[in-house]
Chain A
Amino acid sequence: MRKKEPALIITFATTAAAMEAESFCLSRQLPGRIIPVPREITAGCGLAWKAPVEAEEQITAELKKAGLLWSAMRVLEV
């Protein structure tokens, strides 16, 4: 197993919302990738956007500006 490190985990209500967020983040060159939701988070669709912790402010601001919704956003050791 890879060593666990803190990461920003963002979950979404549906896979369609997760795909919309992925498409958006990739088009804006925001860091991160889609992963299965860690068990610590029960909310969401089974998919999460995992990004460096330091990107939280930038990603949050961009998602809000675009009107994209997420279910939960937490920093976890994953």
Chain B
Amino acid sequence: MIYLDNAATTLRKPPQVIDAVVRAMTDMGNAARGAHSGALEAMRTVYNARVKLAKLFGCPRPDHVVFTANATEALNIAISGILRPGDHVITTSCEHNSVLRPLYRMEAERGVELSFVPADAQGRVDYEDFERLMCPNTRAIVCTHASNLTGNILDITRIGEIAHRHGALLIADASQTAGAIPIDMEAMLISVLCFTGHKGLMGPQGVGGLCIRPGVEIAPWKVGGSGIHSYDKQQPAEYPTRLEAGTLNGHGIAGLSAALDFINEVGLDAIEKKEHMLMDRFFQAVSAMEGVTVYGDFTQARRSAIVSLNIRDYDSAAISDELSETYGIATRPGAHCAPRMHQALGTMDQGAVRFSFSWFNTEEDVDAAIQAVQELTVE
């Protein structure tokens, strides 16, 4: 199989990630439960992963790196833990349902008012809209760093500056960029960064998290076993324990930690450059084909390694199935959990076929995909 569905999850992982998970499942106890060698091994592993993530994302404090099951859980924790009745939130049409649905729930349950920065037919936003939509009660801007459908990057630094100037928080969804595009919470003025570990970070599924700028208060979404302060009726107030009730996915975190070592060895710049090269090779070829419509802004110098397209008026599901069955190429058709983005692109009925590239893809993979698309355009 030629795997080009890396925006859903990276299927190929560095071998040391698999080794680390196996080792963890052999040696590790429960982090923060006891002080025997197995528990300490788990605690050290988890702590070291926090340190590496804090460094990667420019989070000032490792103890403000909180582990969750995935980005969706991180976003739910951030959104439900920050927003209060009467708050106003600005978000965008580029968002995944992992942002939209928690916000819709806040709208329904807490009376939170939502405003949307629209996207144009190429998935671009106008940054003046963030400024225009600001209200005295705007509590936060919640937005993605890159669209999971078009791959367009949003200028988080510019959005962070607007949020900061108006006294609002910036909750950023880095699902498509963590491990693939540089992120610096301090420079970008990000209040809460939500990430997943199994996409660009190349770790196992089941680990994500949020990095919290010191001073940002998030009420716990779940409470329970913390391994500490067991006689208190309330969840401990200190991060990360405040938001980490229950046993962590220590085995997955061990894998993620090994993946972070791999990324540091290879270098984030090298990863970004290679993925961009593969994406651009594919884009240049398919965008010149008659009958192919490519979505997104490819004038951006920096973007997520995603190319979404349609061939004539064919159902995207049928194209993706043909790519899989006839050519052994894995892609993602349909709506990609991004309803407003498809609305903006005018692809709600047809969906789109998403090709997404990773460090482990090759030019041969790309050329095979180009050849397959070419053949499908003439059938």
Binding site for B on A (CB under 8 A): 13-20, 22-23, 34-36, 42, 44-47
CB-CB under 8 A for A45 and B63, given A13-B238, A19-B44, A36-B34: no
Among B32, B50, B239, contact of A46 (Cβ-Cβ < 8 Å): B32
Cβ 8 A contact of A14, one of B44, B63, B231:
B63
B47 in contact with A14 (CB, 8 Å):
no
Query: B192-219 toward A: CB 8 Å interface, digit per residue (1/0)?
Result: 0000000000000000000000000000
Contact check, A14 vs B238: say whether CB atoms are below 8 A apart. Answer: yes
On chain B, the number of residues with a Cβ less than 8 Å from chain A's Cβ atoms is 21
Are the CB atoms of A16 and B47 closer together than 8 Å?
yes
B324 smallest CB distance to A (angstroms): 44
- Residues on A with beta carbons closer than 8 Å to the beta carbon of B40: 34
Q: Does B43 contact A (CB under 8 A)?
A: yes
Question: Taking the nearest CB of chain B, how far is it from the CB of A36, in angstroms?
Answer: 4
Looking across the interface, which residue of chain A has its beta carbon closest to that of B228? A45
Of the A-B pairs whose beta carbons lie under 8 Å apart in the complex, a sample of 30, sorted by A's number, is: A13-B236, A13-B238, A14-B236, A14-B238, A15-B31, A15-B43, A15-B47, A15-B227, A15-B241, A16-B62, A16-B63, A16-B239, A16-B240, A16-B241, A17-B63, A18-B43, A19-B44, A19-B47, A20-B62, A20-B63, A22-B44, A23-B44, A34-B40, A35-B35, A36-B35, A45-B32, A45-B227, A45-B229, A46-B227, A47-B35
Residues of B within 8 A of A (CB): 31-32, 34-35, 40, 43-44, 46-47, 50, 62-63, 227-229, 231, 236, 238-241
The listed residue with most B CB atoms (<10 A of its CB), out of A13, A14, A18, is: A14
Select B240's contact among A14, A36, A47, beta carbons within 8 Å.
A14
Q: Tell me, in angstroms, the Cα distance from A44 to B227 when the chains sit together.
A: 11
A14: which B residues are within 8 A, CB to CB? 63, 228, 236, 238-241
A45 surroundings in chain B (CB, below 8 A): 32, 227-229, 241
- Knowing that A14-B236, A46-B34, A47-B35 touch, tell me 5 more A-B residue pairs with CB under 8 angstroms: A14-B63, A14-B238, A15-B32, A36-B34, A45-B227
| Cβ-defined contact, A19 with B43, below 8 A | yes
- The answer to whether A15 and B44 touch across the interface, beta carbons within 8 angstroms, is no
Q: Name the residue in B43, B62, B228 with the highest tally of chain A Cβ atoms < 10 Å from its Cβ.
A: B228
| Assembled-state Cα–Cα distance A22/B47 (Å) | 11
A18–B50 CA distance with the chains assembled, in angstroms:
13
Q: Nearest chain B CB to A43's CB is how many angstroms away?
A: 9
- The residues of A that contact B43 with a CB separation of less than 8 Å are 15, 18-19, 47
Determine chain A's interface SS by DSSP, over half rule.
mixed
Quick one: which of B35, B228, B240 contacts A34, CB cutoff 8 A? Answer: B35
A18 vs B228: C-alpha distance when bound (angstroms): 12
Shortest C-beta distance, B212 to chain A (Å), equals: 13
Task: State the CA gap A14–B31 with chains docked (Å).
Answer: 12
Contacts of A35 in B (CB 8 A): 35
- The residues of A that contact B241 with a CB separation of less than 8 Å are 14-16, 45
CB distance from B374 to the nearest CB of A (A): 53
Residues of B within 8 A of A17 (CB): 63, 238
6 closest A-B pairs (Cβ-Cβ)?
A19-B47, A45-B228, A16-B63, A36-B35, A15-B32, A14-B238
How far is B40's CA from A34's CA once the two chains are assembled, in angstroms? 8
Cα A44 to Cα B231 in complex, Å, equals 12
For A15, list chain B residues within 8 Å (CB): 31-32, 43, 47, 227-228, 241
A35 nearest CB neighbor, chain B only: B35
Q: How many angstroms between the C-alpha atoms of A39 and B44 in the bound complex?
A: 23
Is there contact, CB below 8 Å, between A23 and B47?
Answer: yes
Distance to closest chain A CB from B38 (angstroms): 13
Q: How far is the CA of A20 from the CA of B228 in the complex (A)?
A: 16
Instruction: Check B227–A16 contact: CB distance below 8 A.
Output: no
Q: Which residues of B contact A44 (CB under 8 A)?
A: 228
Is the beta-carbon distance between A16 and B228 smaller than 8 angstroms?
A: no
**How far is B354's CA from A67's CA once the two chains are assembled, in angstroms?**
48
